[in-house]
A and B are shown apart, each in its own frame.
Chain A
Amino acid sequence: MANNTKGRRDFMGMALGGFTALGGIGALYAMKRTWDPLPSVKAAGFTTIDLSPAQENVLVTEKWRGKPIFILKQSKEMMAKVSEEAKKRLIEVDGAHYMVAVGLCTHLGCIPGYDPADESFLCACHGGMYDSTADVTKAPPPRGLDIPPFKIDGTKLVLGETGPEYEKMLADGTTLKV
């Protein structure tokens, strides 16, 4: 009799515990999903930029997903200076080369400033530096500025969409997925 009672209580305890744990896991999942970015936030992630008005060695800053996007048209002299490796970072549109990158330092996300005379970027937060192709030249940043997903459409860039040129950059490790 006593043993029988114990067995029944254990069963009820385990059943209660099991269902409570199940409900708890469900509640945790709901909490995680509540913290996720909203669909409207995700849907607003596309921006079209016209590259034709850009001038050589003049930094243009646009906005995509709330982040600054740097666009720098490269001059012939600038192109002569950069290595073949760094040229992979540039986007060729209509015969001209453009540096297009997310303007947030890859160290901790400050916005680097551009010095046209030195043709370099300096991040004032922790002293990181980048060249005119936004490749890193001085630590602490671990890598060059990230290139946003783009698709070339005539003289325009659609940021947020993935074109073949961007896929190639991802594949050969020129940039990381943003």
Chain B
Amino acid sequence: MAHFEKAKNLHEWMDQRLAIDTLKKVMQTEYWIPKNINFLWAMGMVLAATFGILLVSGIFLLMYYQPNVNTAFDSVNYTIMSEVGYGWLWRHVHGVGASVVFLIIYIHMFTGIYYGSYKKGRELIWLSGMGLFVAFSAEAFSGYMLPWGQMSYWAGMVITNLFSGGSLHADGLVEWIRGDYVPGQAFLNRFFMLHVLLIPLAIIGLIVLHFGTLRIPHVNNQDGEEFDFAEAAELYKAGKVKESKVIPFSPVFLSKDVLVMGVYFIIFFYLVFYHFEFAMDPVNFDPANGLKTPTHIYPEWYFLWSYEILRPFSTNVGLIAFAIAQVIFFTLPFLDRSPNVAPASRRGAFKFWFWALLIDMIVLTFMGKLPPQGIWSTVGLVAALTFMGLWIILPIITSKEKKL
């Protein structure tokens, strides 16, 4: 038995048993963040807060949702929407949150790409972040199945069919994933399990890992400047707050985060209360029907760019292109051959590469929503080829980049 003195108050009692003072230092008051940042550095905490909101609204939806092919549709569209007090609020928060979280993820990703925050010791931050992107995608897809409307059913059909691997005809694998020949009860039940338990557990684990990978290399800054954090921290602790290049995570950095979050949540709840319909596809208000395909199937906006990479090609080529598009962002720290950690604007050809990628993905997103006809087919094909081309030239242009 370790020796314990009698505590003078609750704080001391807790500190003796949990070392809460040390914990607070390590996690907050002596976790150092560079000063030279802007509002884009708040997106991480905005994402964490949005995930929290998705979790809370999800818990309340879970109280009335029924994962059964006969009752799922009504449990959402009738019970939750018109019987449960404020059920509509949880549903609209959950639906809008699921859509908006991807917007913030994309901003967070492109901020990292722009400032080179995936290089020189920060590779694991990027890789764990991409792991989170994949986990959030799986979470969004499995959640989309649950209302069991026409879009749920047919998105489930089309996406699980991708696993047949085109000419490989792995129909057995597809049926294994579904637990049936077509999406049915077994399918709905297992995607319900994935959505409410397994994937959220993975997401929480990955968030912890993502924060952990940030600790040693520290947060990047607007100039990609390398400096001695320990020295800057000493300066701050000595009271030379102005001269120091860092601020503590809490309360200083967090108070800036809270300001950005405040603005974000005004917009977020404006959408929840006045424009939730953008996150609610009208086709999904028809119950699932395995004998009738909706005339035009398209995914939610955040998957459109990769869907458009699949679409203009024949089955096998399309599948390969799609598979590459899904994983190519993981390779960014390794395909970027330049040692420079600097904003894209100072990196010569990379500046054009960055903006070309961003614009190309926006074009792909718009094309994915339009029917595959006429000029739009051609534009989509060109944009898909451009996407592939950009990743091929990345190692070439970055290895020729001048060292700053």
Question: What residues of chain A have their CB less than 8 Å away from a CB belonging to chain B?
Answer: 35-38, 41, 45, 61, 63, 65-68, 104, 107-111, 124-127, 139-142, 176-178
- Assess the A67–B372 pair: CB atoms within 8 A: no
B77 to chain A, nearest CB (A): 23
A108 to B171 alpha-carbon distance, docked (Å): 12
Question: What residues of chain B have their CB less than 8 Å away from a CB belonging to chain A?
Answer: 154, 157-158, 161-162, 166-167, 169, 171, 175-182, 184, 186, 190, 290-293, 295-297, 311, 313-316, 318, 372-373
A33 to B136 alpha-carbon distance, docked (Å): 27
Cβ contact of B162, chosen from A68, A108, A125, A177, cutoff 8 A: A108
Specify which chain A residues have a CB less than 8 angstroms from the CB of B182 in the assembled complex: 65-67
Specify which chain A residues have a CB less than 8 angstroms from the CB of B179 in the assembled complex: 35-38, 41
Cβ contact of A68, chosen from B169, B290, B311, cutoff 8 A: B290
Cβ contact of A108, chosen from B161, B181, B313, B316, cutoff 8 A: B161
27 interchain pairs, CB-CB under 8 A: A35-B179, A36-B176, A36-B179, A37-B181, A37-B186, A41-B181, A63-B290, A65-B182, A67-B181, A67-B182, A110-B157, A110-B158, A110-B293, A111-B292, A124-B293, A124-B295, A125-B158, A125-B293, A125-B296, A125-B297, A126-B311, A141-B315, A142-B166, A142-B315, A142-B316, A176-B169, A178-B171
- Assess the A41–B186 pair: CB atoms within 8 A: yes
Specify which chain A residues have a CB less than 8 angstroms from the CB of B169 in the assembled complex: 176
Tell me if A's interface is mostly helix, strand, loop or mixed. loop
- Assess the B176–A35 pair: CB atoms within 8 A: yes
Specify which chain B residues have a CB less than 8 angstroms from the CB of A41 in the assembled complex: 179-181, 184, 186
A170 to chain B, nearest CB (A): 13
Pick the 5 closest A-B CB pairs, nearest first: A66-B182, A111-B293, A65-B181, A110-B293, A109-B161
Specify which chain B residues have a CB less than 8 angstroms from the CB of A67 in the assembled complex: 181-182, 290
A45 to B161 alpha-carbon distance, docked (Å): 20
B348 to chain A, nearest CB (A): 39
Specify which chain B residues have a CB less than 8 angstroms from the CB of A139 in the assembled complex: 314
Specify which chain B residues have a CB less than 8 angstroms from the CB of A178 in the assembled complex: 171
B103 to chain A, nearest CB (A): 26
A143 to B162 alpha-carbon distance, docked (Å): 16
A104 to chain B, nearest CB (A): 8
Specify which chain A residues have a CB less than 8 angstroms from the CB of B290 in the assembled complex: 63, 66-68
- Assess the B291–A68 pair: CB atoms within 8 A: yes
Give the number of residue pairs across the A-B interface with Cβ within 8 Å. 79
A178 to B174 alpha-carbon distance, docked (Å): 12
A130 to chain B, nearest CB (A): 14
Q: Which residue of B lies closest to A64 (CB)?
A: B181
A90 to B127 alpha-carbon distance, docked (Å): 53
- Assess the B318–A140 pair: CB atoms within 8 A: yes
- Assess the A127–B180 pair: CB atoms within 8 A: no
Known: A38-B179, A65-B181. A111 touches B297 (CB 8 A): no
A108 to B291 alpha-carbon distance, docked (Å): 15
Q: Which residue of B lies closest to A65 (CB)?
A: B181
- Assess the B318–A124 pair: CB atoms within 8 A: no
Q: Which residue of B lies closest to A41 (CB)?
A: B180
- Assess the A66–B176 pair: CB atoms within 8 A: no
- Given A66-B180, A111-B293, 5 other A-B contacts at CB below 8 A? A41-B179, A66-B184, A108-B161, A126-B311, A140-B314
A67 to B171 alpha-carbon distance, docked (Å): 14
A110 to B297 alpha-carbon distance, docked (Å): 9
